[in-house]
Amino acid sequence: MEKEAKAEALADLDDFLELSKKLGKDNKGYIEDYKIYYNAWFDFLDNKDKYKSYEEYLEKNNIEY
């Protein structure tokens, strides 16, 4: 189920990027950041027994937030 949710979330970001382009909005930088956090979130869920929190996961994996 998590793999499906991850794939759906990332597909939604791709859709959002396409919509942004059609509207003449430059959201590519934001979307790239969101992809980092989405991938990190799902990896955290797969390994949450190793971390006290998502914040700790981000810190230990050198992901700025």
- In the chain, where the domains are located: 2-60
Supply the pLDDT for residue 1. Answer: 66
What's the CA gap between 63 and 32, in Å, rounded? 13
CB atoms within 10 A of CB 44: 20
Q: How confident is the model at residue 2 (pLDDT cuts 50, 70, 90)?
A: confident
Q: How confident is the model at residue 3 (pLDDT cuts 50, 70, 90)?
A: confident
What's the CA gap between 50 and 46, in Å, rounded? 9
Confidence (pTM): 0.84
Supply the pLDDT for residue 28. Answer: 94
What mean pLDDT value characterizes the chain? 95
- SS3 state of residue 29: helix
Which residues are CB-neighbours of 2 under 8 A, at least 6 positions away?
42, 45, 46
